[in-house]
Structure 1
Amino acid sequence: MGTEVGGPALDRQVETPADNNETQQENPDSVSNGEYSDETAVWLARTMGGRLENSSIALSNAQYDQARSVLGDDYDTRLEQYVEVAGDTSSETDDTAAREFEAARENQRNLTNEVQRYRQQYAAYQTARERGNEREARITARAMERTASNISDRGDELNQNFERIENTTSVDLSSGQTEINETTANITATQAAIREETLVGTTLTVQPIDSTASFSDPGTVSGQIQTENGSVIADKAVELRIENRTRTVQTDSSGVFETQYRPRSARLGSQSISIEYVPEADSVYLSDNDTFTIDVQQVTPDVTSDIAPDVVGYGDQLNATASVIVASDGVDAVPVEFAIGDTVIARTTTGPNGTVTETIRLPATVNDGERQVVARVPYADRAIAGVQSETPVVVVETRTNLSVSASRTDGGALVRGQLQTVAGDPVTGRPVRLQIGAGGTQRVETNRNGSFQTVFENPQGNESVTVTATYDEPRTNLGNATATATLAAGSGGGNPPVGSDGNPAAAFGNAVIGSSWLPVFGGGVALAVVVAAWFVVPRVRQSRETDSPVPTETGDTSMTDPNPSATSSDETTPTFEDRAESYLDSGNYDAAAMVAYTAVHDVLAVENGIDEGATHWELLQRSQEHGVPEDRMADLETVVETFETAAFAPTSVDRSQAEAAVDRAREIKSNGDR
């Protein structure tokens, strides 16, 4: 087509679709019932379909901002309206179409970002080649491999979205599909040429020497790495990843190596174990993988623990230690949970000697009374058996103060207040029940300052009424509290807030109605205090050893420093970009997520004076307290949540999650380096 390699394939005019057509009178902005639902759904579908196609055209023209903007706020509004209208239509397929329109928007946005990244990488690649910097060219070419693969996958997913939309609506998206296919084909061809001129493919073959493997009796594995022309990678230290752990081995003159497989999280019985050759970021070689089959046998470790002090209340500090030992060997890189009753108060992983040390603050969700702190390895039917140790502790009740105020607004009543301990510490993420007069109740949740705020609509006319706030959770270590205020008759403000101790309350924060500043986990219980944070940063940032663990898609929750090895030369030390791209290239999405978090932690710890030992949730809280902008906080939350999944969840993060975390980390680093 006469276009620049890797560049835009088309040059067409992008038109922002007007929100009008033959069914303009059914514009959902003015439709208040289901009378015209079918016609409105058609109108909305055509509007969104036009924007999807225009985004594809803009992308082919390298108009990235335009490609994103046509799928911006207006598209989101129309999608929300379509979802609402779909429930009133006579067609069941509209619900399916709504999901596809949402998925198409996300895939189109992601495809736009990836194509833009690829063309930027291509420009950097060309520059490096022109300057004769072959090392930089190889690093960039390897990053482009991942990006090109992502573009192909995103393009396939988007085509499927378009086909499903066409099958469930009257919208024709064939032009958009043509644009997508031409864009992805152009990049695929470009990358094939770059691979041919810069990189060398490899073949990894492995076989087990031993038939069984356990933690106490590892299995030996032999292998060889050959290049695509049949030569071998001889007499060289190479990095391998066996499931969730990386290690460096030495090949001999024939390219042959031996290494040991020492299972921890692997399931029992005959297992197919993946092993991958992981080239360095600036290597000319591409990665390859193979599998071997071995019988995994179980070993039961001894777990011991210690907790101090033995009497605690809400927010008090617990110092917890645990050791996981097989014979005299510490079992490193296995998860350990500390729990009281049904509440997990900390999750972490053992260090090189099989021990963990955690500083925990007692959350509200632990009931008061005589309790047991359980330290356990949360495994079942794994190479390391699930075992636990118990230590007694007494949890005492902490008294609370509740305050509330009320004032009238146009058509409603603003009610706000605060929940604190008697010592004045805010109580975060707890439910407070509000009632005006004899009317119905409304539940709100305290924010990180212990504050809450909500609006009652049409509160019992204009007469003077009593507003009651109640905190009375049955299973908690916090005492109950009640507070009242008077909502004055007519318009105007109410009385000053009166707390459960009869004293006026302090100033209030502005909480989002019914939500907490921290994420909500399974069962709808908010992780209310940073004391339940799961991981201590220095463990991620420790120096990488010869056999360092990296979480894998097999469900291992082991932790590691995800940084690849670096030499003493500044020229060959991998950057954050190098490490992230390398892990994403090789499909090690957990490690990429952890590299992203480490980079973000380093920036924010320096920028906001946050302690190096801050946990990931403490980093989030401290950043918010230091006034980090809302959009940057959203990026940080993405990185932190993805890191937490990579470190502790029973399954790995997927590609899109890891890429999002790396992208957000890149944005945060970019802002921090300015």
Structure 2
Amino acid sequence: MNSSRVLTWVLVCLVVCSAVAPGVAASAHADRTLDVSRVHDAPLQVETPDAQNNSTTQHENPDETDDSGDLSAVKGWLSGRMSETLVNCVRENRTLDRAVCSRLNRSYPDWVSKYVNVTRETESEQDDEVASRFNESRKEQQRFVESLTEFQETKEQYETARENGNTTRARELARELSKQAETVNESATNLNADFGWLSNETSANLTSSAEAISELSNNTTASAEQIRELEFVETSLSVSLNRSQIAYDSPVVLVGSLDAAGGETVANRTVRIRVGSQTHTVSTNSTGGFSLQYRPTLVSNNATTLDVAYIPRPTSLYDRSDATVPVSITQTNTTVTVTTSTDTVRFGDRLRIRGTATASGHGVADIPVRVVVGNRVLRTETGENGTFTHATDIPASLSTGTVSVRAALALDEQALRRSTAESTLVVNSTPTVLSVDAADVSSSNATVRGRLTTEDGEAVPNSVVRLQVNSTTVGRVRTNATGAFRSQVNLSAIDARQPTVVAVFDPQGGNLESATGRAQLTVPSAMDGGLDALTLVGAAAGLLILGLGGVFVARASGVLPPEMVTALLSALPGGTASRREDIESESTEDSTESPESNPESPSQPAQDAQLDALEAHLERGDVDAAVIGAYDLVREDFRRSFDLDSSFTHWEFLEHVRPHVTDDEMDAARELTESYETAAFAPEAVSEKRGTRAVEIATTRTGETDQF
């Protein structure tokens, strides 16, 4: 459009606004007077206490833990709720109904978090320990519930296999049940230790719960033992050595016999015999006898007995049996070698490290090996012939120059002595390239983005880039897995229309060379020798909208005659009498608000900006912030969409979302809530994979698709 046309619009709108302003002001004043009269007629709302209930509140509201109040009462309420949940979960496990146990993942984490906040006010180490124990009890009870659930599910599968006559599968499941029962017992022992401490050090009474845990554990053991006796034939293992003094360089002969219950022998079978940490496959003779040669490797050189076991295969009819023999162990020296696939490397190169471990001229298998390249530690183990191979990419942190490559057998007071070997490697420096540009530049800030690579285009991840504007450092950002970075920089203190943004990569140590990238910005100004075209068009558009409204107010109030209204509308772009009639017709329709016009709903550009901020958190490596932001964004979307109470805890909120969403949407919401709980409350950080997934969920929910 040309500038004369724009000026015409502006003049038309100014004329209309000037003409109708007095009438509009009078109308507005009248409305305000009416509103005041309504206020005087409104009844005064005062909350009064319930006359039927004159009892005092037992504990302070834990949602107000930041306010001053009775901290002891708050702690009492929180510990009571946590204790109650632990007790009820134990009770429900006894009845195989675990609905309340779900609170361990919902309300309980919030209670622990609030308890921690309260203990910060008390500055009591005892309170800190109580909070820690309650949290550990929650985690251990979850493990106990999970292991018990797994045992019961496996037991159901076992019973189904027996009913179907699937003997092979039934035996496999019976062995799994024995292992799972051991896990249940271990978890029960740990949980009862926590319950005992809490019962002794707090007002919580968990004694009956500890007894119930022991009962569940004992029942699990008894059930597994009953199934084991039903499925397997008991065996008996007897072994002896040709001498008790043993060493790797002086192997011994182990002679044994494997018998079954009822006087039968496990004859003419291939069986597995475990001696110490080594498993040998041997064949039994017609009487169940066998023999093998044994060289001690990882067994402690202070051991006085040697453990030997018959390890049946999962589908075997026979049960496991164990035996021990007295020994005295003498250490044997070892030799290790190490070589590299190349003598010279640089950043990103693939390096292969090879070596061998021997003792008394024999390659030693299954020995852990610790390899150190410069300051980087790698771990592997030897194969059947005593050799080992490990491949690694050269990291940026490895210093330039000649570095050592050391290999050591990771042994400590064992039958084999520790030994080491060393080689060298030359690390060359690698030039880098730093690109930078800017977007969304305003008078107050700009989005600076770029990428750090080697001169060959290989990404340089997890590296710090310093950002400067006109030689002033304004921030630092870390590159992501692709070498990219992105950050908002503040320009409000920069007194220049065309500042220069400089990105600097200046590593302190390592093998990457420094790099610098520059980008010149043009900061827009509202006044630059007068109004620019964009500003003029924007002002004209605003006045046009105001003017159109004024035309119809003027026509309705009689301020302007109809013929002047027609003339004014005709002066507007595309303005005709018929257009006026169309507008008048539209204005007489009911002004019901569409669902999309909810003033509380954010615009799509606003949501896009929030999503961009989450991506920026990920690129900077601040995964926790990205997860918390993603959760807040989705939670607010749910709150608006389903009219939910914002005071719910994160797990309570999730339960109120459930009736409104599909199963897939609920799964995604639960996954996001779990990640949020880790980011907000756990000491460990959320993994990059889970952080990326959280942002994906937020993007899917709040993006243009408006669905999971």
Report the counterpart of residue 81 of structure 2 in structure 1. Answer: 47
Alpha-carbon separation, structure 1, partners of 2:500 and 2:172: 68
Residue from 328, 341, 346 that aligns with 1:313:
346
Shift of 1:160: 2.5
After superposition, residues 508-547 of structure 1 pair within 5 angstroms as 511=618, 513-514=620-621
Shift of 1:270: 4.9
Residue from 419, 428, 451 that aligns with 1:387:
419
Report the counterpart of residue 431 of structure 2 in structure 1. Answer: 399
Shift of 1:151: 2.2
Report the counterpart of residue 349 of structure 1 in structure 2. Answer: 381
Matched, 1:478 2:585: no
Report the counterpart of residue 544 of structure 2 in structure 1. Answer: none
Shift of 1:142: 2.0
SS in 1 for 2:82: helix
* Alignment RMSD (CA, Å): 4.2
After superposition, residues 138-217 of structure 1 pair within 5 angstroms as 138-174=171-207, 176-177=209-210, 179-217=212-250
Alpha-carbon separation, structure 2, partners of 1:180 and 1:102: 18
Which amino acid is 1:391 matched to? Answer: S
Q: Residues 446 and 516 of structure 1 are in contact (CA less than 8 Å); yes or no, is this contact kept in structure 2?
A: no
Alpha-carbon separation, structure 2, partners of 1:422 and 1:189: 67
Note the alpha carbon deviations across 1:400-445, whole angstroms, 9 max, x for none: 2345669799x99977654332322222334456689999997765
Which structure 2 residue ranges, 5 or more long, are not aligned?
1-55, 527-614, 625-686, 697-708
Alpha-carbon separation, structure 2, partners of 1:187 and 1:41: 36
Matched, 1:427 2:534: no
- Could you say which structure has the higher helix fraction? 2
Alpha-carbon separation, structure 2, partners of 1:488 and 1:22: 63
Shift of the 309–135 alpha-carbon distance from structure 1 to 2, 3 Å rule, reads closer
Note the alpha carbon deviations across 1:163-210, whole angstroms, 9 max, x for none: 222223223335644553454444344334323333344443433323
Alpha-carbon separation, structure 2, partners of 1:303 and 1:514: 40
Alpha-carbon separation, structure 2, partners of 1:186 and 1:305: 53
Alpha-carbon separation, structure 2, partners of 1:84 and 1:158: 25
Matched, 1:75 2:182: no
Which amino acid is 2:393 matched to? Answer: R
Shift of 1:79: 1.8
Alpha-carbon separation, structure 1, partners of 2:468 and 2:91: 54
Alpha-carbon separation, structure 1, partners of 2:434 and 2:71: 47
Alpha-carbon separation, structure 1, partners of 2:388 and 2:409: 12
Q: Percent identity?
A: 30
Alpha-carbon separation, structure 2, partners of 1:73 and 1:393: 54
Alpha-carbon separation, structure 2, partners of 1:407 and 1:33: 41
Shift of the 127–84 alpha-carbon distance from structure 1 to 2, 3 Å rule, reads same
Q: Residues 271 and 293 of structure 1 are in contact (CA less than 8 Å); yes or no, is this contact kept in structure 2?
A: yes
Shift of 1:147: 2.0
Shift of the 453–208 alpha-carbon distance from structure 1 to 2, 3 Å rule, reads farther
Residue from 122, 126, 130 that aligns with 1:89:
122
Report the counterpart of residue 367 of structure 2 in structure 1. Answer: 334
Shift of 1:41: 2.2
Which structure 1 residue ranges, 5 or more long, are not aligned?
1-20, 493-507, 518-622, 634-674
Shift of 1:40: 2.5
SS in 2 for 1:318: strand
Note the alpha carbon deviations across 1:304-327, whole angstroms, 9 max, x for none: 443233221100122333233446
Alpha-carbon separation, structure 1, partners of 2:383 and 2:171: 35
Matched, 1:236 2:269: yes
Q: Residues 65 and 114 of structure 2 are in contact (CA less than 8 Å); yes or no, is this contact kept in structure 1?
A: no
Matched, 1:372 2:404: yes
Shift of the 292–484 alpha-carbon distance from structure 1 to 2, 3 Å rule, reads farther
Alpha-carbon separation, structure 2, partners of 1:123 and 1:114: 14
Which amino acid is 2:618 matched to? Answer: A
SS in 2 for 1:88: helix
Shift of 1:281: 0.8
SS in 2 for 1:391: strand
Alpha-carbon separation, structure 2, partners of 1:173 and 1:151: 19
Shift of 1:397: 0.9
Shift of the 443–320 alpha-carbon distance from structure 1 to 2, 3 Å rule, reads same
Alpha-carbon separation, structure 2, partners of 1:466 and 1:164: 62
Q: TM-score, normalised by structure 1?
A: 0.62
Alpha-carbon separation, structure 2, partners of 1:225 and 1:43: 61
Report the counterpart of residue 636 of structure 1 in structure 2. Answer: none
SS in 2 for 1:128: helix
Alpha-carbon separation, structure 2, partners of 1:184 and 1:60: 11
| Structure showing greater Rg | 2
Residue from 197, 218, 223 that aligns with 2:256:
223
Alpha-carbon separation, structure 1, partners of 2:431 and 2:455: 6
Shift of the 369–138 alpha-carbon distance from structure 1 to 2, 3 Å rule, reads same
Alpha-carbon separation, structure 2, partners of 1:87 and 1:438: 43
Shift of the 182–478 alpha-carbon distance from structure 1 to 2, 3 Å rule, reads same
Matched, 1:249 2:282: yes
Matched, 1:360 2:467: no
Q: Residues 317 and 362 of structure 1 are in contact (CA less than 8 Å); yes or no, is this contact kept in structure 2?
A: yes
Alpha-carbon separation, structure 2, partners of 1:437 and 1:34: 48
Alpha-carbon separation, structure 2, partners of 1:412 and 1:229: 86
Report the counterpart of residue 635 of structure 2 in structure 1. Answer: none
Alpha-carbon separation, structure 2, partners of 1:228 and 1:434: 78
Between 97-106 and 377-386, report the one with greater CA deviation: 377-386
Matched, 1:31 2:138: no
Q: Residues 302 and 324 of structure 1 are in contact (CA less than 8 Å); yes or no, is this contact kept in structure 2?
A: yes
Which amino acid is 1:398 matched to? Answer: T
Matched, 1:108 2:152: no
Shift of 1:368: 0.1
Report the counterpart of residue 20 of structure 2 in structure 1. Answer: none
Shift of 1:239: 0.9
Note the alpha carbon deviations across 1:305-363, whole angstroms, 9 max, x for none: 4323322110012233323344653333223344333323x432222232233433211
Shift of 1:146: 1.9
Residue from 318, 322, 326 that aligns with 1:285:
318
Q: Residues 313 and 397 of structure 1 are in contact (CA less than 8 Å); yes or no, is this contact kept in structure 2?
A: yes
Matched, 1:59 2:87: no
Q: Residues 487 and 616 of structure 2 are in contact (CA less than 8 Å); yes or no, is this contact kept in structure 1?
A: no
SS in 2 for 1:204: strand
Alpha-carbon separation, structure 1, partners of 2:127 and 2:433: 50
Q: Residues 165 and 171 of structure 1 are in contact (CA less than 8 Å); yes or no, is this contact kept in structure 2?
A: yes
SS in 1 for 2:327: strand
Alpha-carbon separation, structure 1, partners of 2:619 and 2:344: 35
Report the counterpart of residue 599 of structure 1 in structure 2. Answer: none
Q: Residues 466 and 473 of structure 2 are in contact (CA less than 8 Å); yes or no, is this contact kept in structure 1?
A: no
SS in 1 for 2:402: strand
Report the counterpart of residue 131 of structure 2 in structure 1. Answer: 98
Shift of the 440–629 alpha-carbon distance from structure 1 to 2, 3 Å rule, reads closer
Shift of 1:280: 1.4
Alpha-carbon separation, structure 1, partners of 2:68 and 2:247: 64
Note the alpha carbon deviations across 1:624-651, whole angstroms, 9 max, x for none: 99x99959x9xxxxxxxxxxxxxxxxxx
Q: Residues 222 and 259 of structure 1 are in contact (CA less than 8 Å); yes or no, is this contact kept in structure 2?
A: yes
Report the counterpart of residue 657 of structure 1 in structure 2. Answer: none
Shift of the 468–230 alpha-carbon distance from structure 1 to 2, 3 Å rule, reads farther
Report the counterpart of residue 668 of structure 2 in structure 1. Answer: none
Q: Residues 369 and 407 of structure 2 are in contact (CA less than 8 Å); yes or no, is this contact kept in structure 1?
A: yes
After superposition, residues 579-594 of structure 1 pair within 5 angstroms as none
Q: Residues 452 and 511 of structure 1 are in contact (CA less than 8 Å); yes or no, is this contact kept in structure 2?
A: no
SS in 1 for 2:122: coil
